[in-house]
């Protein structure tokens, strides 16, 4: 039994190693979906900077009012385009065909993107745009190479440029052949070449808020589920205490 277990773990080990080694470096998003202030700021950023291209078509404005602690009027005024009503979904006005003509790819719906990509990926992605003359939009992204999306937050973050490192050419053996690798330019980091209206700290907070909002819309019931969960656990703890005293009481005379 033990031997089988050990063999199993050993067999699985290379899989774990390969899965973790290929990954890109991701920054930690550290989101807190129980912070209503963060969710409110994130919703505002989403509405200002993303909703012009992306929908979140499973999200109804009314639900935002309920979960984010806003009035319906506040939601309609601040988060929805002018023609929208409180029971509408967060759908972009742009036609998918037009979007495809403009960008080559239609911007995907973002309702579930926090689940498919994960919050750390989103956080790093939104911070990793840099200028690239060779791209049609003028932008590229470290995490999503040659993305069709232009940097939506450049006014806040400022403009980043890529820093390249020269990796010298070298000769190596491939089988019996001698191969010469050319000198390569490898992207080694990003630097701000034009300041944005936010400091680095403020921008990190803004992206954190935005990603918190994306995490919330991917599973809106989570906020309620977690707060109900705490009460259930408290109830069980108190109930256990009572059950224990009753048990003591019942058995007191039986000895």
- Rounded distance between C-alpha atoms, residue 55 and residue 221, angstroms: 20
Residues contributing to the site for ligand HEC (CB under 6 A): 49-50, 52-54, 103, 105, 107-108, 110, 113, 116-117, 122, 125-126, 147-150, 152-153, 210
Q: Identify which of residues 56 and 65 has a Cβ nearer to ligand HEC in the complex.
A: 56
Task: Give the shortest CB-83-to-ligand HEC separation in angstroms.
Answer: 19
Task: Give the shortest CB-129-to-ligand HEC separation in angstroms.
Answer: 10
Picking from 14, 208, 8, 55, the residue whose alpha carbon sits closest to that of residue 127 is 208
Cα 244 to chain center, whole Å? 45
Contact between 199 and 192 under an 8 Å Cβ cutoff? The reply is: no
Q: Identify which of residues 104 and 169 has a Cβ nearer to ligand HEC in the complex.
A: 104
Task: Give the shortest CB-245-to-ligand HEC separation in angstroms.
Answer: 54
- Rounded distance between C-alpha atoms, residue 69 and residue 134, angstroms: 45
Q: Identify which of residues 96 and 229 has a Cβ nearer to ligand HEC in the complex.
A: 96
Cα 39 to chain center, whole Å? 13
201 by Cβ neighbours in 10 Å (0-12 / 13-18 / 19+) ranks as exposed
Task: Give the shortest CB-36-to-ligand HEC separation in angstroms.
Answer: 20
Q: In the Cβ-directed half-sphere of 20, how many Cα atoms lie within 13 Å?
A: 5
Q: Identify which of residues 72 and 112 has a Cβ nearer to ligand HEC in the complex.
A: 112
Contact between 127 and 157 under an 8 Å Cβ cutoff? The reply is: yes
Q: Identify which of residues 72 and 84 has a Cβ nearer to ligand HEC in the complex.
A: 84
- Rounded distance between C-alpha atoms, residue 214 and residue 50, angstroms: 11
Angle at 227 (CA atoms; ends 88, 210), nearest 5 degrees: 50
Neighbours of 109 (CB within 10 A): 16
Task: Give the shortest CB-9-to-ligand HEC separation in angstroms.
Answer: 33
Task: Give the shortest CB-90-to-ligand HEC separation in angstroms.
Answer: 12
Q: Identify which of residues 44 and 72 has a Cβ nearer to ligand HEC in the complex.
A: 44
Q: Identify which of residues 152 and 220 has a Cβ nearer to ligand HEC in the complex.
A: 152
- Rounded distance between C-alpha atoms, residue 118 and residue 106, angstroms: 21
Task: Give the shortest CB-42-to-ligand HEC separation in angstroms.
Answer: 10
- Rounded distance between C-alpha atoms, residue 51 and residue 157, angstroms: 19
């Amino acid at each position: 039994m033990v031997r089988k277990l050990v063999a199993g773990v050993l067999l699985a080990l290379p899989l774990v190693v390969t899965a973790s080694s290929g990954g890109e470096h991701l920054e930690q998003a550290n989101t807190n979906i129980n912070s209503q202030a963060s969710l409110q700021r994130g919703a505002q950023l989403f509405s200002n900077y993303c909703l012009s291209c992306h929908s979140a078509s499973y999200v109804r404005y009314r639900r935002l009012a309920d979960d984010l602690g806003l009035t319906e009027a506040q939601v309609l005024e601040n988060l929805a385009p002018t023609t929208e009503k409180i029971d509408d979904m967060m759908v972009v006005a742009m036609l998918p065909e037009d979007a495809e003509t403009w960008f080559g790819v239609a911007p995907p719906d973002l309702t579930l993107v926090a689940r498919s990509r994960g919050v750390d990926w989103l956080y790093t992605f939104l911070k990793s745009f840099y200028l690239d003359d060779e791209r049609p939009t003028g932008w590229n992204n470290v995490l999503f190479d040659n993305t069709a999306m232009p940097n939506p937050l450049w006014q806040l973050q400022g403009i980043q440029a890529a820093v390249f490192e020269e990796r010298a050419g070298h000769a190596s053996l491939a089988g019996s052949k001698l191969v010469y690798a050319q000198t390569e330019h490898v992207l080694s980091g990003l630097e701000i070449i034009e300041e944005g209206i936010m400091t680095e700290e403020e921008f990190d907070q803004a992206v954190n808020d935005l990603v918190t909002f994306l995490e919330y819309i991917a599973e809106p019931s989570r906020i309620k589920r977690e707060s109900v969960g705490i009460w259930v656990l408290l109830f069980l703890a108190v109930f256990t205490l009572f059950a224990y005293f009753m048990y003591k009481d019942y058995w007191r005379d039986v000895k």
